[in-house]
Structures are given as structure tokens and as C-alpha cells.
Amino acid sequence: MAKFLFQADYSPAGVAGLRNEGGTGRKRMFADMGGTIEFFYMPLAERTST
């Protein structure tokens, strides 16, 4: 089965919503597309592109 990596940035409002709702919204979004979340990593540093 194929694996995909999604990268996203949260706005301040998005961070507030994540704190209120938790991660169930992300899990539901992938389930609605027929997928699952196997791992979820959250880096503590700013993303850089090379």
C-alpha cells in the first residue's frame, strides 16, 4: 500500500482550534478519504527548504 507524507503549517487560529478539538478532526479527514493515520510527527523547529 502506498504511503504519503503531508506537511502543513498551522496559523495561530488553527493552533487554537487544534487545542480545543484535539487531533480527531485530522483523523476524521483521512478516514473520510478511505485512509488511516499510522504516524503523526510534530517537529519543534521551523521548517526549512533545501
DSSP string, 1-50: -----------HHHHHHHHHHTTHHHHHHHHHTT---------SS-----
pLDDT score recorded for residue 48: 61
The domains of the chain are located at 9-38
Find the mean pLDDT for residues 22-47: 79
d(CA 24, CA 43) in angstroms, rounded, equals: 19
Query: In the predicted model, is pLDDT for residue 49 greater than 80?
Result: no
Q: Which one is predicted more confidently, 22 or 45? A: 22
User: Contact at 8 Å (CB) between 37 and 30?
Assistant: yes
Q: Own/partner pairs for 34-37, CB < 8 Å, 24+ apart?
A: none
- Averaged pLDDT score across all residues of the chain: 78
This prediction has a pTM of 0.47
For range 4-13, the mean pLDDT: 80
